[in-house]
Structure 1
């Protein structure tokens, strides 16, 4: 179970890092033209870049606290925050009728719930 939780957290961290780097460093007009990025045309560039930075921090928060053994409780806390972020992403993609991205967001949400449950419960770092 511990290995499965590490893999799930690693996958989420990779997704968060890729999305965060994209939102932070790709120009707004290119994001709006990319698949799933249509919502960025209706959002301020500051908001999109802030989301990107939050996603980069989430990537770090899903891995580094446990690896460095510094406040490892931040791993499940980050996973819970990722759940909230995915709920927002689902709502956004629903508004833009982008069903394929809703399915992806649901998968990421499920992984985050699994990590949060596992790290707060049976495979807690403090146990």
Structure 2
């Protein structure tokens, strides 16, 4: 579900209600950015951040919210899609020499997967 925010002239801005990500996106800066924009986030805390928080005792603050059930549902969509994409040999071995050609190959394979499902 998207929230539309009328902010001045131009196209209406939209933002997601919630972001579900893995530990790579669990940095303090990323969480602060999402919090500033009013977007809920569900991603596990990194072990080094947890250790630093515990070392600071009471001054470490509370742990960030983590919805285990919502995070488990992430794999229902993400993993099957990646497994199907890696079924194409060019994407799995990354034959594209540049990032743009690899991105184009992933986009084309995604469109082909989507067209087969429709």
TM-score by length of 1: 0.26
Structure that is richer in helix per residue: 1
Structure that is richer in strand per residue: 2
**Structure number with higher relative contact order (C-alpha < 8 Å, ≥ 6 residues apart):** 1
